[in-house]
Amino acid sequence: MEIMFWLVLSLATAFFTAAGDALTKHYLRPLGTAKMALARVLGPIIILLPLLFLQSWPALDHTFWKTVLVLLPLETTALMCYMEAIRISPLSLTVPFLAFTPAFMILTGALILGEHLTRQGILGIFLIVFGSYALHFNTLRHGLTAPVKAIFKEKGSVLMLLVAFLYAITSVLGKLAVKHSNPFFFACFYFVLHGLFATALLAFFFKAYPLSLVRACPKGVFFIGITQSAMVICHMWAISLAPAAYMIAVKRLSVLFGVLMGGIFFREEAMWSRLLGAGLMLLGVFLIALSGP
């Protein structure tokens, strides 16, 4: 029963991740990237702040604080690129590139944590790369290199590749911070701290204020807040019940959910090739997860 429960929670995490993307694009795209980013960080602050103070805090050393200080600007940069990507490009051509995160993590894990590459991991990387090529199979009539050219013509795809690379760094740094605290505390602490940090930056540099955002689009802020908070809670609950690599692999089903939502709600085109590409990339993620320790 417990095995099924972590799987249900992981699937819920994937669904709420994709739903958050679709809702953000639907409701807040006209308001700009900064307000889209602001909406994404407000909900988890409200939900997780009480949980942060209802638990005992572990002893936090210099490594923890230095890691968090590096994480905050990287995570905020990734958030802004993420929101810009889904604002300007189809979901089915942006969210699949998040599958590159575990591929990049093999490199960042080796550099930062001394982790090693496996044959299964190499195959997983190949499937992710080939899946990104398959996303544009509908352009093959223009030549074998047309899908590659199409990737780099789509600005949102390029931005999401950058996001995947930044997440590969922040995921490994987050793992380091967890080693110097504990998983549940870090999840609550970091989502709250990053939310406050991002809110302050967005207000200072982009004049994106929480109250004005709520007034401009109350329904969007409400639904996005619900999905982001549900995603965080399901994520923390699932990862406490299952190996992290397996849980994160199932969470990456958000890639497939995102492509489906792009087709259903935004009438995006060439769905057969985009579903095929997303499926191959997802298979690569699972291989990388299963190759881990």
Which residue, among 26, 164, 191, has the nearest Cα to 95 in the 3D structure?
164
Give the dihedral of Cα atoms 276, 277, 281, 286; nearest 10 deg.
0
- pLDDT of the residue at 292: 60
Task: Give dist(CA 3, CA 238) in Å, integer.
Answer: 10
Match 């997440």 to its residue by tokens: 167
Match 């967005």 to its residue by tokens: 202
Match 């090529």 to its residue by tokens: 133
pLDDT at residue 109 tops 70: no
Looking at the chain, the whole-number percentage of residues with pLDDT higher than 70 is 95
- The CA distances from residue 153 to 20, 45, 148, in Å, are 26, 36, 9
Residues in contact with 255: Cβ distance below 8 Å, sequence separation at least 6, in sequence order = 95, 96, 98, 99, 278, 281, 282, 285
Put simply, whether the predicted model's pTM sits higher than 0.85 gets the answer yes
pLDDT digits (tens, 9 = 90+) for 52-91: 999 999 999 999 999 999 999 999 999 999 999 999 999 9
* CA atoms in the 13 A half-sphere facing the CB of 286: 9
- Here the tokens at position 230 are 């549900």
* In the chain, where the domains are located: 2-290
Which residue, among 58, 68, 137, has the nearest Cα to 96 in the 3D structure?
137
